Amino acid sequence: MIDRLKYNFSDLPTYEPSVADVQARLGAFMERVKLDALIVTSQDEFISEYVPRRNSQRFAVSGFDGSAGSGIFLSAAAAARIGVPRFVLFVDGRYHLQAEAQCDKTLVQLEKLELGVPIWTALARWLSSHADVLRSVGYDALRVSVGQRDRLFDDTRRDALRWTAFSAREIDRAIDLPGWEVDRPIFEVPESLTGTTVASNIAALNDRLRGHLGNAGARVCWLTCAADDIGYLLNSRGYHMPNASSHLGYLFVVGDQVALYLPEGCDACPVELETYSKLQVFRNDLAALGRFLALFDVEHICYGADFVNCAMPDALSRVWPHARHSSFSPVESMRASKTPQVLAHFRDAFARSSAAIAETMRWAKYGEPGQHPSEYDLARKVNDAYAARGAVGLTFTTIAAHGANSALAHYTAASSDVALEEGELVLLDSGAYYEGGFATDCTRVVLRKTEAQTRAQPWQREIYTIALKACIKGLVTRFPAQLTGGEVDEAVRDVCRASGYDFNHGTGHGIGIHVHEGGVRFAPNSEYGLVPNAVISVEPGIYLRGKGGVRIENVVIIHPSEHEPGKVEFENIVAVGYDWDLIDVDLLDEAERTYLRDYERLCAQLGNTVTPCPLL
């Protein structure tokens, strides 16, 4: 068992369905309801990013368990006419190699998307290109967001497809999906840690909603099923899913009245939220929830269309048939800028995680006499190092990758059969939760060197040094405050491109209650700005298929620059030394050497050096 922290799910029974059998059952269902195609997503009804295998329709029909990737399941007749397998799976660059390895080519057609091409855009284009065959298309209204559905409808409008929604778990039953059940308590995080109260959060939410509508007296119901939105507003946690400190449910806010609805699967969870007296809890009883909501005269229903499934707004339309729906949720922007109390917790959590990672990377590099550790041992080692420093959960499945596996950007199959071998790259990407329930994340790479004569190969030193230079570019540059995340991504990516390399993922993601927080991000085409007090990663990488890969990830807090008005600067809150066996010092300019000298001096003071720094 790798995960031995307090909030783990290591005792869950494994779910390894026969993909062929699942596809046969789903095909029979489609014949009964007369569909040519069915949209199959990686999401659950809460539009979660990380969905356990046992609750993932996409995993059941493909065998692929990455966090992102959705597809189109075809009737036998449609697949035969088009000349493809029954399931067409769309994945972004992070998962090209993993999906290739996990999917049976006779059962799954893999569509590898280029950088910057959204999965749902590619999916709509594929439907349109085969609209002469695919006349009737279905989707699970509980597992598709309003925004995803609306974009599909808009992008295929000229194709005159007939759409059918399923909102009563018909597809889950058809494929005998086990689903997800949890009974963990929902509990409060103190105001001293979050810096806000539930009452102030609800008041700020209502102010922004009414401001958006231009009516201070607007009668509004706001809805979300985004777990990190709920955790932010209610100062609550629950660890209801692997790799997330949040809890499941739907939240409804009407003025100062708040309803938390716990549907099937989480309706048995105790609710230990006492500080906000106007919170009511409803357990798997939509009729009771409807009666409560009907007490209020609502003229506007607001929600983030990309973060709410299609079924719940449709249910609200039955409560308030004349209310106008608006795709607007201010919570993402509210939680992007962290309070001083939250930032203090982030600094403390990253200090503990940095110490755990540095200790683990020294072990991964130098080993122990007589020991022959594996990838699995590496994942367990960092887990135990986190536990020793008070961690209560992991923020994502640890990526412990050796050799060629390190070229798989999101490799999560750490194996006891893959030994850490001399002279190979070893990549560790991991993160932990501590008592506040805010995520940490960091990636480091070392050269396995248990013998003094071992030397890095030229290609290893080249890709490590270039990735490091790109990371430094992101860490030290004072960017104009008006830049977008897309422009920061471009600046960091250009360092790799100048040497003939690139990477098929964004440069950085926001971090909060979840390790991937919506909003601020450094990625191609991101229009989101550089929000002061946001927490975000900087993680360029270079991956050589069949050989190995490097990703160097630090996490920063964005601040207005104290030195140059109109610019921002980044406070690096990760302190884990680098592997100087992999750094070609001749490729570093003087500014980079100065930065690394100061950084390694800090790591040495904290006891977080991984290898001796020749610049000190």
Give span(s): CATH 3.90.230.10, the chain.
337-606
Contact predicate 529/546, CB 8 Å: no
Report how far residue 292's alpha carbon sits from residue 282's, in angstroms, rounded to the nearest whole number. Answer: 10
Q: Which residue has the tokens 């068992």?
A: 1
Six-digit token pair at 413?
């199959």
Q: Where are the beta strands (DSSP E) in 257-305?
A: 257-262, 271-272, 279-283, 300-303
Structure token pair of residue 490: 């471009």
Query: Is the pLDDT at 1 greater than 70, yes or no?
Result: no
Q: What is the mean pLDDT of residues 223-236?
A: 97
Residue with token string 């594996």: 374
**Structural class in CATH, domain 19-174:** alpha beta
Per-residue pLDDT, 598 = 98
CA distances from 476 to 196, 505, 575, 594, 596 (A): 31, 21, 15, 11, 11
* Predicted pLDDT of residue 410: 85
Residue 420, burial from CB neighbour count under 10 angstroms (0-12, 13-18, 19+): buried
Give me the residue label for tokens 């290893």. 460
Query: Does residue 92 have a pLDDT over 70?
Result: yes
Q: Answer yes or no: are the C-beta atoms of 579 and 464 closer than 8 Å.
A: yes
| Residue 316 φ/ψ region, left for φ over 0, alpha for ψ in the -120 to 50 degree band, beta for the rest | alpha
Distant-in-sequence, close-in-space partners of 315: CB < 8 Å, separation ≥ 6: 286, 290
Which of 305, 282, 304, 306 is CA-nearest to residue 294? 282
- Taking the C-alpha atoms of residue 363 and residue 357, their distance in angstroms, rounded to an integer, is 10
Pick the CATH number of 186-331 from 3.40.50.880, 3.30.530.20, 3.40.350.10, 3.40.10.10: 3.40.350.10
Between CA 250 and CA 223 the distance in angstroms is: 7
Instruction: Give me the pLDDT at residue 255, please.
Output: 97
DSSP symbol at 439: B
Pairwise CA distance, residues 6 & 437, whole Å: 12
Q: What pLDDT shows up at residue 94? A: 85
Express each pLDDT in 156-166 by its tens digit: 999 999 999 99
Rg (CA), the chain: 24
If you search the block for the tokens 């950084």, which residue do you land on? 599
CB atoms within 10 A of CB 20: 12
Per-residue tokens: 454: 């071992």
Please say if the pLDDT value at position 324 is more than 80.
Answer: yes
Domain 337-606 has CATH 2.60.40.3140: no
Q: Please give the mean pLDDT across all residues of the chain.
A: 96
Say if residue 342's pLDDT is above 90: yes
Nearest to 401 by CA among 379, 434, 423: 379
Tell me what the mean pLDDT of segment 28-40 comes to: 98
Residue 214: left (phi > 0), alpha (psi -120 to 50), or beta?
A: left
pLDDT category at 2 given cuts 50, 70, 90 is low
Provide the pLDDT confidence category of residue 353 given band limits of 50, 70 and 90: very high
Give 503's pLDDT tier (boundaries 50, 70, 90).
very high
Pairing outcome for strands 508-510 and 442-447 = unpaired
The total of other beta-carbon atoms located within 10 Å of residue 58's CB is: 24
pTM for the full predicted model? 0.95
Burial (CB count within 10 angstroms: exposed 0-12, middle 13-18, buried 19+), residue 228: buried
Give the pLDDT confidence of 550-608 residue by residue, as tens digits: 999 999 999 999 999 999 999 999 999 999 999 999 999 999 999 999 999 999 999 99
Nearest to 427, CA basis, from 409, 441, 440 = 409
By C-alpha distance, which of 270, 265, 278, 284 is closest to 234?
278
CA distances (Å), 259 to each of 158, 275, 278, 338, in order?
40, 14, 8, 25
| Residue tagged 């509990």 (tokens) | 187
pLDDT at 356 over 70: yes
Q: Which residues pair with 393 in a beta bridge?
A: 433
- For residue range 504-540, list pLDDT tens digits in order: 999 999 999 999 999 999 999 999 999 999 999 999 9
H/E element holding 202? helix 198-213
pLDDT digits (tens, 9 = 90+) for 49-61: 889 999 999 999 9
8-state DSSP, 505 = S
- In the block, residue with structure tokens 């005998």: 176
pLDDT tens, 270-307?
Answer: 999 999 999 999 999 999 999 999 999 999 999 999 99
The pLDDT of 331-349, averaged and rounded, is 97
Q: What is the DSSP letter of 415?
A: -
Tokens of residue 458, six digits: 């030229």
Please return the burial class of 340, using the count of CB atoms within 10 Å of its CB with bins 0-12, 13-18 and 19+: exposed
List the structure tokens of 561. Answer: 């620059």
pLDDT attached to residue 412: 86
As a whole number of angstroms, the distance between CA 534 and CA 16 comes to 39
pLDDT tens digits, 247-262: 999 999 999 999 999 9
pLDDT at 218 over 60: yes
pLDDT tens digits, one per residue of 176-205? 999 999 999 999 999 999 999 999 999 999
Say if residues 196 and 273 touch (Cβ distance below 8 Å): no
Distances (CA, A) of 334 to 103, 187, 250, 395: 40, 21, 19, 22
